[in-house]
A and B are shown apart, each in its own frame.
Chain A
Amino acid sequence: MIDTRVNICGVELKNPVMTASGTFGSGKEFSDFIDLSRLGAVVVKGVAAVPWKGNPAPRIAEVYGGMLNSVGLQNPGVDWFIENDIPFLRRFDTKIIVNVCGHSVEEYENVVRKLQGQDIDMLELNISCPNVSEGGMSFGTDPKMAENVVKAVKKLADKPLIVKLTPNVTDITEIAKAAVSGGADALSLINTLTGMKIDIYRRKPVLQRKIGGMSGPAVKPVAVRMVYQVCKAVDVPVIGMGGISNAEDALEFIMAGATGVSLGTANFIDPYASVKTVEGIEEYMKKYGVSSLDEIRGIIE
């Protein structure tokens, strides 16, 4: 018998597989293809206090083994989310993790205040989006600012608080420790790596905003390394992501120390990728006699 369950801050997930914020909407688009109840959790697209328009197009560029995006957290706002997306997701037997975005501490606080008492399971504080000019990644690259915003949000949060980290820093363990000292119950990493692509025929950047966030299989080794380092540096659960496309990738992150894993860009390449990953982890456990993921988590010294 295998047991794929994982526990993150008291919330029990039926398996460690989640969807990375911003790649899965609130699951509606993917419910045409997969049964969302097969997933450990759905991490929804970033939710702000008021609707955000996002950045001008083109917002997407393909790069070798991955992609760049500069969407800029376009979203219809927290009120719309509460009214439409929570009831939709509650039709499925999966956990709901809400990604929270803001331009300022006050904006983050406003979202979290509105989410108080709502039927959700966890919060994920997005201090790592590279595509907004105020807030976003600026909070996630300065340990002091990171600690302060986490502290402010933690006071208002009535659900476990995950803090999502950016890889665009010199030492990710410093930010990880700052987030934990601010009160983070768990950490998730990595958000996208900043990148750029130039169209040499038009002699212009492909993205209207010039610089965007890189994701996809090409970033995976960087992400595994950072998850490994952070797991060694802090005692809270870590959700690993960055280029995960299948069970083999997911298991690398778990062996590096991650409690949960998220698929992002892989959902665009194959809408069944998340469920295939769940199935692949089950197969691996059966084949190699792993009864619980605790047996292999963090086995890399």
Chain B
Amino acid sequence: MGKLKIGFIFTNRSLYDILIKTFVFHTRGSVYMKKTETALVLSNNKLTEGIFDITLKCPDIAPLARAGQFIEIYPDNGANLLSRPISICEAGADTLRIVFQVVGKGTALFSNLKSGDKVRILGTCGNGYELKPGSALLVGGGIGVPPLLETAKRLIAAGNDVTVVLGFRSGSFLSDEFEKLGARVHIATDDGSVGFKGNVVDLIKAESLTADTVYSCGPKIMLKFLSIYCEEKNMPLQVSMEERMACGIGACVGCVVKIKDETSADGWTYKKVCKDGPVFDSKEVCWE
């Protein structure tokens, strides 16, 4: 009963928080509003090999941010024309922090940005996580970890109990920042260099971690096995998906994933990661 009471208080606190945030958002316009802006690079730090941490000053777009959303950044170098979708790691009043991995020409270009540089961005894009009152388990794999930081921050601020499971090939990044927020942090590495040796799902099983809601971002294979596990344990899971994009706003219909659809003859339909997602209920995703 004591536990229930605490849960009830937390629920009220989160509702209060949601009401305040909704009010703030509505005074600024629609929740899913998008803008473009020339952002000022305030800092760029290399976190570890191939992982960069940039803070952008963007007073028009930053206030629109929701946990789990992303922004589009344009290379604007004449050759690489398409914007790159990068998840929001942290949102301040007029700043956005992005932590990304160098995977191609666009991200290589961004990794060279210096304080004082300007970069054209569009945002905020996608739906973001639906933050639920109650205990939360956040599961991130590799470059899927950064969007969980803002998610953890908002869940903790709303009074929820947050446990974080972070998976890496080797070493780790951002884990200390989750600890500072007050989250319980577990780390799994493929090579055992930090924490548990193995994958995040094995760690969750070994530690018997449970929560009212699970939020996740990472490689598709990780999301798939996490989805199977959460279904077994009857834990609702929100997964953030990834796919190659062109426009980032839902117009080109490039970035699709298979989503269950009873109204369709064969039971599924292609939905857009950039607009219908990137966050989907794991039970809706057709895992292949």
Contacts and interface: CB of A to CB of B under 8 A. Distances in A.
Contacts of B264: 51
Interface stretch (B169-177, B185-193, B247-255): B247-255
Contacts of B244: 57-61, 206
Interface in B126-172: none
B253 A33 contact: no
B270 A67 contact: no
Main secondary structure of the interface of B (DSSP, over half): loop
Contact of A57 (B36, B81, B243): B243
A216 B255 contact: no
Contacts of B80: 62
Given A58-B243, A271-B36, A29 B251 contact: yes
A107 B188 CA distance: 54
Contact of B122 (A53, A59, A271): A271
Contacts of A217: 81
A74 B82 contact: no
A69 interface: yes
Interface in A260-283: 265, 267-272
Interface residues of B, number: 30
A74 B251 contact: no
A64 B79 contact: yes
Contacts of A25: 250-251, 253
Contacts of B78: 65
A71 interface: yes
B67 interface: no
A268 B252 contact: yes
A54 B81 contact: no
Interface in A15-69: 22-25, 28-30, 32-33, 45, 51, 53-54, 57-62, 64-67, 69
Interface in B244-284: 244-247, 249-257, 264, 269-270, 275
B74 interface: yes
Given A60-B244, A74-B270, A271-B122, A33 B250 contact: no
A59 B269 contact: no
B24 interface: no
A76 to B, nearest CB: 9
Contacts of B247: 23, 29, 267-268
Contacts of B252: 22-23, 60, 69, 71, 268
Given A32-B34, A53-B270, A69 B256 contact: no
Interface residues of A, number: 36
Contacts of B246: 60, 67, 69, 265, 268
Nearest to A25: B251
Nearest to A32: B34
Interface in A64-91: 64-67, 69, 71, 74
A62 B74 CA distance: 13
A272 B36 contact: yes
A267 B269 CA distance: 26
Contact of A65 (B33, B81, B243, B249): B81
Given A25-B251, A29-B247, A57 B257 contact: yes
A265 B251 contact: no
B241 to A, nearest CB: 10
Given A57-B244, A62-B82, A71 B254 contact: yes
B191 to A, nearest CB: 21
B255 A267 contact: no
B256 A59 contact: yes
B82 A67 contact: yes
Contact of B254 (A29, A33, A51, A59): A59
A60 B253 CA distance: 9
A208 B83 CA distance: 21
Contacts of B105: 62
Nearest to A245: B81
Nearest to B120: A270
A64 B79 CA distance: 5
B270 A268 contact: no
Contacts of A64: 79
B256 to A, nearest CB: 5
A23 B81 contact: no
Contacts of B33: 32
B164 to A, nearest CB: 29
Interface in B163-215: none
Q: Which 3 A-B pairs have the closest CB atoms?
A: A60-B254, A268-B247, A29-B251
30 contacts: A22-B252, A23-B251, A25-B253, A28-B250, A29-B251, A30-B249, A53-B269, A54-B270, A57-B254, A57-B255, A57-B256, A57-B257, A57-B270, A58-B243, A60-B245, A60-B246, A60-B254, A62-B81, A65-B79, A65-B81, A67-B82, A69-B252, A71-B252, A265-B81, A267-B247, A268-B81, A268-B82, A269-B81, A269-B82, A271-B249
Given A29-B247, A67-B81, A69-B246, 13 more contacts: A22-B252, A23-B252, A30-B251, A32-B33, A57-B256, A57-B270, A58-B254, A59-B255, A61-B244, A64-B79, A67-B82, A268-B83, A269-B83
